[in-house]
Amino acid sequence: MFESFSAEILARVQFAFTVSFHIIFPAFTIGLASYLAVLNAQWLRTRDRTYLTLFEHWKKIFAVAFGMGVVSGIVMSYQFGTNWSVFSDKAGPVIGPLMAYEVLSAFFLEAGFLGIMLFGREKVGERLHMVATAIVAVGTLASAFWILSVNSWMQTPQGFAMNEAGQFVPEDWWAIVFNPSFPYRLVHMVLAAFLTTAFVVGAVGALHLLRDLSDRCARRNFSMAMWMAVLVTPLQIFAGDLHGINTLEHQPAKIMAMEGHFDSHPEGAPLYLFGIPDQENQTLDYAVGIPKLSSLILKHDLDAALDGLDTVAREDQPPVGIVFWSFRIMVAVGFAMLAVGAWSLVRRVQGRLYDSRWLHRAALVMGPSGFVAVLAGWVTTEVGRQPFTVYGLLRTGDSLAPVAAPAVGASLMAFIVVYFFVFGAGTFYILRLMGQRPDKGPGAVEGPTRTAGITPATQLGREHAVPGE
């Protein structure tokens, strides 16, 4: 059944599928770990039980999402070897140690203190529990640091030499870790993770506000999330712009594909808002563009020259259609986030944040927006650096393991079936938890397993959940 596909295309689909599923969870848990640390710190500082109730509730959601992130991440760490063994042999000496640092400095940290964060408040006391919670948050960020360094080195490699076996031999670790695209990618991704979480938290708050305007937990969620939307979205758009300029310098073909620039524009390039890329004929059909705006954004000069894909050999071009559209989706979502953030600021200033039904509906719809933007952004950067795994140096086609199509195809089918079943169920449980009121509902009342003698915080919180804050 896989005869019509090459092992390469199946391995690429498998990597794209498993990594896309995986990134959904860290994109959420990086932000949520920080949110939990803030909630717990606020509880300790103010002794306002709303914070504790929220912490205990989001903690459950975090545990499910984190578990899914862990198991889907282990798959990634072995897939380099099973499907991309030539890449592993050649690039392993450079990126392997970075990933080892990720395991040593981040994964163990998260895993070691997660248990204490989830189970240990009564066992270690409030102070150490706060430390554990903060360490989990730091661990998620450390993980992002290393894995984005790895990815960035593959996009903008430097600091190495080649040996006779064709391996990349590290020469300057500082140059490798802090390669040219790394700072931009790191900032862009961490902000994306914070925004993803903010819009999820905002949607959960909005959902409960739509049900009950006086819900204190919902108000707190919604207010904190909308502050993040107001403050972080403009920063993210600015960071994305800088990231784009950095990409123009190091991976111009990716920018050409994002912009749909098949032709060079010596006197200022237009910003295409719409078009149908036709890579076969190297044209952008039905193009709608604003003259010279692309040059203004990328070069900060209306008349600056921008090269097009006519300067790149056909076999070195990325697939333009995917990159062109995924980039537009990401940008559109970004501006929608900006709009919701601005709207919430206006309502907040008016003192109407908690009774603006249409704002709540909009925030609810925007709940998954962060995931869409993160996936679209990663598709843009990963498809945009094709046909290379190590940019300009190692082609994707030359990175493949000596695998047969049926083996890759069978494992791909297995991953698809298992992931949809397992992560579908997990997503359902998370959504159901989000639909419950943290201060009421079955979870808070039953509390199936609790350490004896300790009153569940959620029940304490309920007493304080008086209507009309």
Partner 1 sequence: MEFDLAFIWAGLIAFAVLTYVILDGFDLGVGILFPLAGSETDRDTAMNSVAPVWDGNETWLVLGGGGLFAVFPLAYAVVMPALYMPITLMLLGLVFRGVAFEYRWKTRAWKPVWDVAFIGGSVLAAFCQGIALGALVQGIEVEERAYAGGWWDWLTPFSALTGVAVVTGYALLGATWLVMKTEGALQHRMRRAAWPLGLATLGFMGLVSLATPFLEPVYFARWFNLPGSLFSIVMPVLVLAAAWALFTGLNEGRDARPFLAALSLFVLGFIGIGISFYPMMVPPAMTIWEAAAPRSSLAFALVGALILVPVILAYTGYAYWVFRGKVRPGDGYH
CB of 48 to partner 1, least distance (A): 22
CB of 238 to partner 1, least distance (A): 33
Find the Cα–Cα–Cα–Cα dihedral 290, 291, 296, 302, rounded to 10°.
-160
Strand, helix or coil at 2?
coil
Please tell me whether residue 191 binds partner 1 under the rule CB under 8 A.
Answer: no
Of residues 152 and 369, the one with the C-beta less far from partner 1: 152
Tell me how far apart the terminal alpha carbons of the chain are, to the nearest angstrom: 62
Q: Beta-carbon neighbour count of residue 201 at 10 Å?
A: 27
Q: Name residues contacting partner 1, limited to 7-66 (CB under 8 A).
A: 59-60, 63-64
311: DSSP letter: G
Q: Which one of residues 19, 48, 97, 279 is an interface residue with partner 1 (CB under 8 A)?
A: 97
Please tell me whether residue 433 binds partner 1 under the rule CB under 8 A.
Answer: yes
CB 83 within 8 A of CB 402: no
Please tell me whether residue 449 binds partner 1 under the rule CB under 8 A.
Answer: yes
Question: Phi first, then psi: what are they for 201, rounded to 5°?
Answer: -60, -40
Taking only Cα atoms into account, the Rg of the chain, rounded to an integer number of angstroms, comes to 24
Please tell me whether residue 426 binds partner 1 under the rule CB under 8 A.
Answer: yes
Find how far residue 4's CA is from the centre of its chain.
Answer: 33
Helix axes 49-83, 7-46, angle to 10 degrees: 160
- H or E element, residue 162: strand 160-162
Q: Which one of residues 47, 127, 313, 448 is an interface residue with partner 1 (CB under 8 A)?
A: 448
Q: Which one of residues 432, 445, 464, 469 is an interface residue with partner 1 (CB under 8 A)?
A: 432
Q: Considering only the stretches 89-97, 184-192, 242-250, 303-311, report the one whose residues sit in contact with partner 1 under the rule CB under 8 A.
A: 89-97
Q: Indicate the length of the chain as a whole number.
A: 469
Please tell me whether residue 86 binds partner 1 under the rule CB under 8 A.
Answer: yes
CB of 250 to partner 1, least distance (A): 24
The residue among 364, 288, 387 whose CA lies nearest residue 328 is 288
Q: Which one of residues 1, 78, 358, 455 is an interface residue with partner 1 (CB under 8 A)?
A: 78
**200 contacts: CB under 8 Å, gap ≥ 6:** 28, 32, 367, 368, 370, 434
Single-letter amino acid, residue 175: A
Q: Which one of residues 13, 44, 120, 297 is an interface residue with partner 1 (CB under 8 A)?
A: 120
Question: Per-residue x/- mask for partner 1, residues 157 to 186, rule CB under 8 A?
Answer: ------x-x-x-xxx-x-------------
Q: Which one of residues 2, 19, 41, 92 is an interface residue with partner 1 (CB under 8 A)?
A: 92
Spatial distance between the Cα atoms of 219 and 295, rounded to a whole number of angstroms = 43
Q: 92 to each of 18, 80, 84, 88, 160, how far by Cα in Å?
A: 20, 9, 11, 5, 12
Of residues 59 and 348, the one with the C-beta less far from partner 1: 59
Please tell me whether residue 108 binds partner 1 under the rule CB under 8 A.
Answer: yes
Q: Considering only the stretches 190-198, 238-246, 360-368, 415-423, report the one whose residues sit in contact with partner 1 under the rule CB under 8 A.
A: 415-423
CB 308 within 8 A of CB 258: no
CB 410 within 8 A of CB 350: no
Q: Which residues of 300-334 are buried (b: 16+ CB within 10 A; e: fewer)?
A: eeeebebbbbeebeeeebbebebbbbbbbbbbebb
Single-letter amino acid, residue 220: R
CB of 138 to partner 1, least distance (A): 13
CB of 134 to partner 1, least distance (A): 14
Please tell me whether residue 407 binds partner 1 under the rule CB under 8 A.
Answer: yes
Please tell me whether residue 418 binds partner 1 under the rule CB under 8 A.
Answer: yes
Q: Which one of residues 9, 38, 48, 82 is an interface residue with partner 1 (CB under 8 A)?
A: 82
Q: Which one of residues 314, 315, 358, 402 is an interface residue with partner 1 (CB under 8 A)?
A: 402
CB of 137 to partner 1, least distance (A): 16
Please tell me whether residue 441 binds partner 1 under the rule CB under 8 A.
Answer: no
Please tell me whether residue 5 binds partner 1 under the rule CB under 8 A.
Answer: no
CB of 90 to partner 1, least distance (A): 8
Please tell me whether residue 70 binds partner 1 under the rule CB under 8 A.
Answer: yes
Please tell me whether residue 319 binds partner 1 under the rule CB under 8 A.
Answer: no
Spatial distance between the Cα atoms of 21 and 15, rounded to a whole number of angstroms = 10
CB of 139 to partner 1, least distance (A): 11
